């Protein structure tokens, strides 16, 4: 049986030395104290600063305004008759409710700020394809959706959110919502879907929308966070992170082409499925090892990266919602933070030992998740001109919550894959549990990897987990993986070429 949260916490405390225990308890105390504080409304409602995370995206945007790497498009197919006027009014309602969707960005002598407009020009774009005939209609619509998804945002002029409607027939449409990541995150996409659905239903029925009132705006949180993290809280957080930054190594991956300054974010994807039987066995093995499913999948991923790179220190990035206060749950904004999970993997360790090490690293990271990733970058001061992302090159994600879906009266909605094909890191792996099992995909940059390389990588991950569940006490060196270490592969290529 998997240990309870309280048992995991007690075990973690027992493993800490006195100094570490004091720092941990101080951090917990600060978190509880923060929950009792009230986030005040800021004095000026027409502008506010950029959060730590937003500053990084603003810096990236200014270096390449035409990039669409941080577009966040999501698309659904709608079946049934819809009222465009109602959709437009509901869209306006959502934008009016969330100040983060009415901002534009500018530099000032005091630093970058976001200006809040009373109402952005957010007309729904409508493209009518219903007059077209032929078998290629669906393909034309898909191509158009990808083109719309890949249009850059003008953060200086706005808008920062767009809604597009592709009409296939009177009772058949595609609805595409696109926001720039600087004002949104994965959680926010769910908030938008819920709010838009509520406003559509309310306007159709002539009633007030059933939505919780917003006690604060995104700007209030940003100003509160900046003040909170400019003092002892940040010192306590960084006391944890600074020694761990010394363990970070740049990962050696099975590149087909080395990263260069001209490497693009053009991505490819490999589908991964652990069917229900295998997923149940993976969950059972996780319980046997005393770890969560997230830790189990991450530990196996670290083993595969170790076998591929021969490195004993494996660092991956992992996202967290970053919503440390209940007041932020219903807000649209860029709250998400990235944590560094650094794990030790050696050939003479058992998988169980690796998994327990991952558990310790993950618990420590999530207990210090208020530290903005940008602060870690500033501390380590990596080369800004490097062809690779700072601190980590691989992202690992397990989605543990289902985003609210659109629920529009009189319409049947169906998710439709027509989003961005960009991959922000060298490699990214994402999973979520479903009735079918554990499903996911491996994303990679096409400029760095061939399709066959990443298919083999994904297959090896599947093979590795299948081997682990038979006996988690196997040594890392004994686990079944068909890989050629990346360094050897590169040396072979160099010998052949020269």
What is the CATH classification number for the domain harbouring 72?
A: 3.30.559.10
Cross-strand bridge partners of residue 438:
274, 433
Q: Indicate whether 349 belongs to any domain.
A: yes
Q: Indicate whether 227 belongs to any domain.
A: no
Identify the domain containing residue 398 by its residue range.
Answer: 5-38+232-497
Q: What is the pTM of this model?
A: 0.84
CA separation for the pair 192, 333 (Å, rounded): 10
Same structural domain, 291 and 437: yes
Q: Indicate whether 488 belongs to any domain.
A: yes
Same structural domain, 406 and 467: yes
With a cut of 50, say whether residue 206 has pLDDT above it.
yes
Q: Indicate whether 259 belongs to any domain.
A: yes
Same structural domain, 115 and 261: no
Q: Indicate whether 312 belongs to any domain.
A: yes
Count of domains forming the chain:
2
Same structural domain, 363 and 331: yes
Tell me the pLDDT band of 213, cut-offs 50, 70 and 90.
Answer: very high
Same structural domain, 462 and 368: yes
Q: Indicate the residue among 197, 220, 243 that finishes a domain.
A: 220
- To the nearest whole number, what is the mean pLDDT of the chain? 88
- CATH number assigned to the domain comprising residue 288: 3.30.559.30
Question: Measured over all CA atoms, what is the biggest interatomic distance in the chain, rounded to whole angstroms?
Answer: 75
With a cut of 60, say whether residue 3 has pLDDT above it.
no
Residues 86-92: contacts with CB under 8 Å, at least 24 apart: 86/200, 86/203, 86/204, 87/124, 87/163, 87/165, 87/200, 88/123, 88/124, 89/199, 89/203, 90/196, 90/199, 90/200, 90/203, 91/122, 91/124, 91/163, 91/196, 92/119, 92/122
Mean pLDDT of 13-40: 61
Q: Indicate whether 225 belongs to any domain.
A: no
Q: Indicate whether 226 belongs to any domain.
A: no
Same structural domain, 210 and 241: no
Same structural domain, 304 and 430: yes
With a cut of 80, say whether residue 286 has pLDDT above it.
yes
Mean pLDDT of 247-259: 93
What confidence tens digit (pLDDT) does each residue in 377-426 have? 887 766 555 567 778 999 999 987 667 789 999 999 998 876 667 888 99
Closest CA to 174 of 148, 152, 199: 148
Q: Indicate the residue among 155, 186, 220 that finishes a domain.
A: 220
Same structural domain, 306 and 397: yes
Least confident of 27-31, 438-442, 469-473: 27-31
Same structural domain, 292 and 182: no
Same structural domain, 208 and 240: no
Q: Indicate the residue among 172, 189, 220 that finishes a domain.
A: 220
């Amino acid at each position: 049986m998997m240990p309870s949260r309280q048992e995991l916490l007690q075990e973690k405390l027992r493993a800490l030395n006195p100094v570490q225990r004091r720092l941990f308890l101080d951090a917990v105390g600060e978190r509880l104290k923060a929950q009792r504080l009230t986030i005040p409304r800021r004095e000026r409602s027409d502008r506010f600063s950029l959060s730590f995370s937003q500053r990084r995206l603003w810096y990236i945007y200014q270096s390449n305004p035409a990039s669409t790497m941080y577009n966040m498009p999501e698309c659904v197919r709608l079946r049934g008759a819809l009222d465009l006027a109602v959709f437009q009014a509901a869209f306006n309602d959502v934008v009016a409710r969330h100040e983060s969707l009415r901002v534009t960005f500018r530099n000032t002598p005091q630093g970058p700020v976001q200006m809040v407009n009373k109402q952005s020009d957010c007309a729904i774009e409508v493209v009518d394809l219903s007059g077209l005939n032929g078998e290629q209609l669906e393909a034309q619509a898909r191509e158009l959706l990808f083109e719309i998804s890949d249009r850059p945002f003008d953060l200086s002029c706005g808008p920062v959110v767009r809604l597009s409607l592709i009409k296939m027939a009177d009772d058949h449409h595609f609805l595409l919502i696109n926001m720039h990541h600087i004002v949104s995150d994965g959680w926010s996409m769910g908030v938008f879907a819920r709010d838009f659905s509520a406003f559509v239903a309310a306007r159709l029925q002539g009633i007030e929308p059933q939505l919780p009132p917003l006690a604060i705006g995104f700007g209030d949180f940003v100003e509160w966070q900046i003040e909170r993290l400019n003092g002892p809280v940040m010192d306590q957080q960084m006391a944890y992170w600074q020694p761990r930054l010394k363990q970070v190594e740049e990962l050696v991956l099975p590149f087909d082409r080395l990263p260069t300054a001209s490497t693009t974010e053009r991505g490819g994807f490999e589908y991964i499925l652990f069917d229900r039987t295998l997923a149940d066995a993976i969950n059972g093995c996780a319980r046997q090892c005393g770890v969560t499913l997230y830790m189990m999948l991450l530990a196996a991923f670290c083993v595969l990266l170790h076998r591929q790179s021969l490195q004993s220190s494996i660092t991956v990035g992992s996202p967290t919602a970053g919503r440390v206060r209940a007041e932020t749950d219903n807000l649209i904004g860029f709250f998400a933070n990235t944590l560094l999970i650094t794990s030790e993997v050696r050939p003479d360790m058992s998988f169980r030992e690796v998994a327990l090490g991952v558990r310790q690293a993950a618990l420590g990271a999530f207990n210090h998740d208020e530290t903005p990733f940008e602060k870690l970058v500033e501390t380590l001061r990596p080369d800004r001109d490097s062809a690779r992302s700072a601190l980590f090159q691989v992202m690992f994600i397990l989605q543990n919550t289902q985003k609210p879906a659109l629920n529009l009266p009189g319409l049947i909605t169906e998710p439709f894959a027509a989003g961005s094909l960009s991959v922000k890191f060298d490699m990214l792996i994402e999973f979520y549990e479903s009735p079918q099992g554990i499903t996911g995909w491996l994303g990679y940059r096409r400029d760095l990897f061939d399709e066959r390389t990443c298919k083999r990588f994904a297959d090896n991950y599947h093979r590795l987990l299948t081997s682990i569940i038979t006996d988690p006490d196997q040594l890392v060196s004994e686990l079944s993986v068909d890989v050629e270490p990346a360094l050897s592969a590169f040396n072979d290529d160099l010998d052949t070429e020269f």
